[in-house]
Structure 1
Amino acid sequence: MKILVVEDEPKLAGFMQQGLLQAGYQVQLSNNGTEALNKAASEIFDLILLDLMLPGMTGIDILKNLRAFKISSPVIIVSALSGTSQIVEGLDLGAVDYIKKPFEWEELLARIRILQRKIYAVESTRISVNDLVVDLMTRQVMRGEKQILLTAKEFALLEYLVRNTNRVVSKNQILENVWNMDFDPESNIVEVYMYQLRRKVDKGFENSLIETVIGVGYKLTGTKSSL
């Protein structure tokens, strides 16, 4: 699940980013309304966590523009505002939920899981690529009859590959979408995690699904379908 956190308070934004990454989500940050709208218009996010009091463009303005541009990413308002009118306006403009600052971290995660269940009640939670089956809701991974146990970060990496089946993704794209990091030519974190993931997903099977495209990146290859 790819989440855009729109929050201009640096400490809170960093706390939310770190917590969501540890929970296995892909995270991007934006600290002003104009940038957030540009990101939402140029990329697909499964969820936007939106503060209302922002520089550049308010959260209410963002919601109005999301509706005008027909951007369907679900929005949860995360705000210190206690006035009922703005919260009601935000919900009327399409936000699916509201949580008041300061909030309990486990409550925010629970709200996200509730939203996931609603989304997956309509969409399939299970994706197969050849004999690999990934359940995005339960985070269970099977290959053939074998269950594959992954860490939160390994699952996030596999989910990104599955969502981009048969497309080559670069190291830079992986760092940005799975680790929310800018490209660092000295870092080998992608290589380390990719080695671990390939060892779990491909080792012992006749056909390898994860390919290294030399000088370009990586690719998960196969026939993709929803179950």
Structure 2
Amino acid sequence: MPARLVLGEWVTLFGAAPARRRRVLVVGVDDALERARLLRLGFGDAIGAQPHLEEVESRALRIEEQIHSLPRHREVGPLRLDLLAREAFVAGRAVGLHPREFALLWRLADNPGETVGSGNLLTDVWRLAFRPETNSLAVHVSRLRSKLRLSGLDGLIETTLEGGYRLATPAVPPPAAATAQFALDGYLRFGEERVR
């Protein structure tokens, strides 16, 4: 390894977060197994000790391109979002989202735990530059919460004091039998919600 750093020191040097490591091109790793290990740890790329300058440039540009591209999947606790399928999954089961519900959840998953204002959601999800006189946002959030509740993720979307929304972190994993239980008695849970 370059500068005689061992694998653990590389991880310490660049941080434990894979999002940070994926920006790093490690140069000077002649051992193929070490390069493979660095890639599995989430580093952007790893190449030998004497690469040609054009190769370094091409690999760095590829890393830069990957950083700015949207991921196909996002995971927030037990919730997995699939951009291609435009669906959310909990324990491998589809939640059954409508396109706008998925877009709303995807936008909130940009930064879990951080508040996204109503105006930002209307701009990013609805493509509106003004605040409409409807409660469309609140209705979609309510429907999304109901579907997440049926999947065992009650409380994943929080309303903030500022009037925005955020994904709760860390998300509590659903009970083992939550999906089967809620699928059968979901209509009862909706009734309970109205009584509270």
TM value normalised by structure 2: 0.47
Larger RCO: Structure 1 or Structure 2 (Cα < 8 Å, ≥ 6 residues apart)? 1
- Answer 1 or 2: which has greater strand percent: 1
Q: Rg bigger for which structure?
A: 2
